[in-house]
Chain A
Amino acid sequence: MAETLLKIENLKKAFGNLEVLKGLSTEIKVGEVVVMIGPSGGGKSTFLRCMNLLETPTEGSILFEGVDIVKADEKTKNRLRSDMGMVFQHFNLFPHLSILDNITLAPRLIRGKSRAEAETEAMKLLARVGLESKAKAYPQQLSGGQKQRVAIVRSLAMEPKVMLFDEPTSALDPEMVGEVLDVMKDLAKNGMTMVVVTHEMRFARDVATRVLFLEGGRITAEGTPEEIFERPHEGRLGEFLGKVKGDQLADADIAHAILKAAEDGVITVSEVEEVLAEAKRREQKAKGGAQA
């Protein structure tokens, strides 16, 4: 049995009178990939943001390696945060710094690394996500997928014990989703402990060791991907899964597959464009039909 990294007990969070989290408890063990799914407004992101105290819980406790981080002093909180990587939906790269400086800022400031040491490590990580050529570029010169890969590298540079992902692919164009998910899959394969909020059901099914279904500020279903996805469900979970299966996520999967094929040389770029144009025509037709 792997050791427990995060232990969350009876976590509650309210914004004014609005109670967003209504008492959540779970444990995250070293090496686990926990994926949180559920309808919008269900509390997934808030739950994730509580784990590294971007939001201060109203009640309950969060034990990180046995230390209650909610009650910790400011200095301890900063230290604990540096051990937890976080990737945001909108990347939040620092636009005034080069890619290399984005990655090396925290290791130098907090870990006390020399510039040379931090840069060598950053280049290694950039190579791992295929972006070593962008080291001197600025965030505005990168595509969305590249920005998100850099954001992941920026967190990894702190050598975190756990990585938190807050809808990392939701702000991306469909053709860029795959490159980010590939990096995340690679991380999971290498044993990184991860907590992921996402709508990418395929990722959840393929990569997660455990899936949490959050709804109305509570965890209403929990289990292995097989338990969540392969068995028929009643109520909200069944409804939710039925909806997302036929939705844009399927499209994203198809786009990803086509691009992969193009990269591997199975089909040519012009063929891809043809397929995409055809897909668009069908989509418009479908929309027109729905309206009529």
Chain B
Amino acid sequence: MKAMRTSKLLSLCGVWTLMVGLASAAQTLTMATEATFPPYEFLRGQEVVGIDVELSRAVAQRLNRPFAVENMDFDSVIPAVISGKAQLAASGITVTPDRKKNVDFSEPYVTTGIVAIYPKTTPYTAPEQLKGKKIGVQGGTTSDTYVLEQLKQEPERFKTTAEACAAMLAGRCAFVIADIAPAKNCVKGEARLALSGFLSSESYAIAVAKGQPELLAAVNATIAAAKADGRLAKWVDDYTAESDKLKEVAASSAEASAKSGVAAWLSAQWRALCDDVYLCFLKKAADGSSRGMYLVRGLGITLEVALASILLGLMLGFFVAVIRSSHDKYGYFPVMNAVAKVYLTIIRGTPMVVQLLITYYIILRSVDSKVLIAILAFGINSGAYQAEIMRAGIVSIDPGQMEAGRALGLSYWQTMLKIILPQAVRNVLPALGNEFIVLMKDTSIVGYIALIDLAKGGDIIRSQTYSVYLPYLTVAAIYLVLVMSFTWLLGRLERYLRNTGADPVHNDS
């Protein structure tokens, strides 16, 4: 009896496994990575390439599944496989006990280590030298942990190693600790920097969500095969060579320091700036588009997300404001009013970034369009603030306006839409405009869900060129121009309304 039950159970399990297997066969195998870690993963034009990408693609081929790459912040890579947004996390991830608690790791495919990068003016000789100094690292990496646990101090955290190196050259930290590959990349062509020996060594492996033995086995088999037939070695050579070429230091900057005289210095600076502009924005990448296109496409995304969420927020805001003010004044819509109050409390009580991440990882997990996710998250957020602004506008309108509308035979909603809201909007236009401006700039956090907007576009250019000032200053300038144009438009609208209508202060009309 018991035996029969077990066998039945086993056969059920078999069917279930088969079904899962069939279902997953058709599904895309998505790799989560942050493409700012050459030669393991980096952007070639719009395409993410590198050693990890080749390896993951080989896994997909082995499983006969379509393959896709998702480019996101390194901090999001492991959460992405846990939540099922991606199946493989391959981003030069070092195996650590903490990470092992949350995900399963493959056999290591590369063993590497962390080294110190130092300016040649203060040579590095022994690990004791690091103690008590300001150490730059890429946040969230093993270098970060090394400084915390081995040196027992807080590191200076940067988004990339290159940024940390730039900060070191600017005198903001004494040393930088980094993985050997990005460290080599930073030192290459930068005559002022040098590398130490390994401070510790570590292994990179691919992470998968727990409880997927078949997927893990396939990853391990792929790694073993790639090691055996020399493909892995070839990828390392090819991509190291390609990523080396990415880094181009403006040759003129070295010359500049040699010459003397103000005019020579100025002309050298001018040439350096021109070279920087060329490198950051104009130079054609492998796919024929220039880096400036990151900003152009990013601007498109920023505008799309900002404008659509402003509109969504306006509609939500109007609706909630009417519900709330109608309830407070006439006792209408008690249930909807309660819902609206919960909405306002939650949205205004939690940070925008957290709402964006919850929308992306939990609520809209199955939605593919990140633009849509961003529009919904920002629109719903802004709706709460716009609702309260609009409510203030509605409350400010003389009750006689509602009475006059109703006395003419208009319904409550007709009076609201045709008489109260147009006046309310005019009264709160400055406050609404302010909310629009805040929202437009707030969209710069969409990088958290791997959407490449204007801010993230600038960040990518910086990560590829190691030029810090120009990309960020340009991005800042574009935002400024956007906001100024918008403010100007709003000013025009206000003047237009003032000229056609009555002074909104005098409702006694």
| Chain A residues packing against B (C-beta within 8 Å) | 52, 54, 74, 78-79, 81-86, 88, 90-97, 105-106, 109-110, 138-140, 147, 154-155, 158, 171
Chain B residues positioned under 8 Å from A84 (CB to CB) = 407
Chain B residues positioned under 8 Å from A86 (CB to CB) = 404, 407
Given contacts A54-B403, A86-B404, A92-B403, 17 further A-B contacts (CB under 8 A): A78-B410, A81-B408, A82-B408, A83-B409, A84-B407, A93-B404, A94-B509, A95-B502, A95-B504, A95-B507, A96-B423, A96-B500, A138-B502, A139-B509, A140-B506, A155-B408, A158-B409
Bound state CA distance, A106 and B419, in angstroms? Answer: 11
Interface string of B386-427 (1 = CB under 8 A from A): 000000000000101101111111110010001100110010
Chain B CB count within 10 A is highest, among A52, A82, A91, A92, for: A92
Q: Does B190 contact A (CB under 8 A)?
A: no
Residue of B nearest to A86 (CB): B407
Shortest C-beta distance, B316 to chain A (Å), equals 23
Residue of B nearest to A154 (CB): B408
Residue of A nearest to B418 (CB): A105
Knowing A105-B418, A109-B410 touch, does A96 contact B426 (C-beta < 8 A)?
yes
Q: Does B503 contact A (CB under 8 A)?
A: yes
Of residues 38 to 78 in B, which have CB atoms within 8 Å of A's CB atoms? none
Bound state CA distance, A186 and B319, in angstroms? Answer: 44
Shortest C-beta distance, A163 to chain B (Å), equals 11
Tell me if B406 and A94 are in contact (CB < 8 A): no
Chain B residues positioned under 8 Å from A94 (CB to CB) = 401, 404-405, 419, 423, 509
Q: Does B230 contact A (CB under 8 A)?
A: no
Tell me if B501 and A138 are in contact (CB < 8 A): yes
Chain A residues positioned under 8 Å from B426 (CB to CB) = 96
Total contacts A to B, CB within 8 angstroms?
89
Tell me if B409 and A95 are in contact (CB < 8 A): no
Residue of A nearest to B500 (CB): A138
Residue of A nearest to B403 (CB): A54
Shortest C-beta distance, A201 to chain B (Å), equals 26
Partner pick for A52 among B405, B407, B423, CB 8 A cutoff: B407
Q: Does B368 contact A (CB under 8 A)?
A: no
Partner pick for A81 among B401, B407, B506, B507, CB 8 A cutoff: B407
Provide a sorted-by-A list of 17 A–B residue pairs whose CB atoms are within 8 angstroms.
A78-B411, A79-B409, A81-B407, A83-B409, A84-B407, A88-B403, A94-B401, A94-B405, A94-B419, A95-B504, A95-B509, A96-B423, A105-B418, A106-B409, A109-B414, A140-B502, A140-B509
Tell me if B407 and A91 are in contact (CB < 8 A): no
Bound state CA distance, A54 and B400, in angstroms? Answer: 11
Partner pick for A78 among B398, B409, B506, B507, CB 8 A cutoff: B409
Q: Does B508 contact A (CB under 8 A)?
A: yes
Bound state CA distance, A54 and B330, in angstroms? Answer: 12
Chain B CB count within 10 A is highest, among A83, A138, A154, for: A138
Of residues 358 to 410 in B, which have CB atoms within 8 Å of A's CB atoms? 398, 400-401, 403-410
Chain A residues positioned under 8 Å from B407 (CB to CB) = 52, 54, 81, 84-86, 88, 155
Residue of B nearest to A95 (CB): B502
Chain B residues positioned under 8 Å from A90 (CB to CB) = 398, 400, 508
Of residues 480 to 509 in B, which have CB atoms within 8 Å of A's CB atoms? 497, 500-504, 506-509
Bound state CA distance, A147 and B400, in angstroms? Answer: 14
Chain B residues positioned under 8 Å from A92 (CB to CB) = 398, 400-401, 403-404, 509
Chain A residues positioned under 8 Å from B503 (CB to CB) = 95, 140
Chain B residues positioned under 8 Å from A85 (CB to CB) = 407
Chain B residues positioned under 8 Å from A81 (CB to CB) = 406-409
Interface string of B415-445 (1 = CB under 8 A from A): 0001100110010000000000000000000
Shortest C-beta distance, B117 to chain A (Å), equals 65
Shortest C-beta distance, A281 to chain B (Å), equals 31
Knowing A81-B406, A81-B409, A96-B426 touch, does A88 contact B400 (C-beta < 8 A)?
yes
Bound state CA distance, A140 and B502, in angstroms? Answer: 5
Bound state CA distance, A155 and B471, in angstroms? Answer: 63
Chain A CB count within 10 A is highest, among B410, B503, B507, for: B410
Chain B residues positioned under 8 Å from A74 (CB to CB) = 411
Tell me if A147 and B509 are in contact (CB < 8 A): yes
Bound state CA distance, A88 and B401, in angstroms? Answer: 10
Tell me if B423 and A95 are in contact (CB < 8 A): yes
Chain A residues positioned under 8 Å from B507 (CB to CB) = 95
Which 6 A-B pairs rank lowest in CB-CB distance, beginning with the nearest? Answer: A82-B409, A95-B502, A140-B502, A92-B404, A86-B407, A92-B400
Shortest C-beta distance, A53 to chain B (Å), equals 8
Bound state CA distance, A90 and B419, in angstroms? Answer: 16
Chain B residues positioned under 8 Å from A105 (CB to CB) = 408, 418
Bound state CA distance, A155 and B501, in angstroms? Answer: 21
Bound state CA distance, A96 and B427, in angstroms? Answer: 11
Tell me if B411 and A93 are in contact (CB < 8 A): no
Shortest C-beta distance, A15 to chain B (Å), equals 14
Tell me if B406 and A93 are in contact (CB < 8 A): no
Bound state CA distance, A78 and B407, in angstroms? Answer: 8
Chain B CB count within 10 A is highest, among A79, A84, A88, A140, for: A140
Tell me if B408 and A158 are in contact (CB < 8 A): yes
Bound state CA distance, A90 and B404, in angstroms? Answer: 10
Interface string of B243-275 (1 = CB under 8 A from A): 000000000000000000000000000000000
Chain A residues positioned under 8 Å from B410 (CB to CB) = 78, 106, 109-110
Chain B residues positioned under 8 Å from A54 (CB to CB) = 403, 406-407
Shortest C-beta distance, A173 to chain B (Å), equals 13
Bound state CA distance, A124 and B423, in angstroms? Answer: 28
Shortest C-beta distance, A100 to chain B (Å), equals 13
Interface string of B63-102 (1 = CB under 8 A from A): 0000000000000000000000000000000000000000
Shortest C-beta distance, A95 to chain B (Å), equals 3
Chain B residues positioned under 8 Å from A171 (CB to CB) = 508
Bound state CA distance, A138 and B403, in angstroms? Answer: 20
Tell me if A110 and B408 are in contact (CB < 8 A): yes
Bound state CA distance, A155 and B403, in angstroms? Answer: 13
Bound state CA distance, A79 and B406, in angstroms? Answer: 10
Shortest C-beta distance, A119 to chain B (Å), equals 17
Chain B residues positioned under 8 Å from A91 (CB to CB) = 508-509
Tell me if B501 and A96 are in contact (CB < 8 A): yes
Shortest C-beta distance, B223 to chain A (Å), equals 70
Chain B residues positioned under 8 Å from A147 (CB to CB) = 509
Tell me if A110 and B409 are in contact (CB < 8 A): yes
Chain B residues positioned under 8 Å from A97 (CB to CB) = 501
Shortest C-beta distance, A83 to chain B (Å), equals 8
Chain B residues positioned under 8 Å from A95 (CB to CB) = 423, 501-504, 506-507, 509
Knowing A92-B509, A95-B507, A140-B506 touch, does A106 contact B501 (C-beta < 8 A)?
no
Tell me if A106 and B509 are in contact (CB < 8 A): no
Bound state CA distance, A158 and B404, in angstroms? Answer: 13
Tell me if B403 and A106 are in contact (CB < 8 A): no
Chain A residues positioned under 8 Å from B406 (CB to CB) = 54, 78, 81
Tell me if A139 and B502 are in contact (CB < 8 A): yes
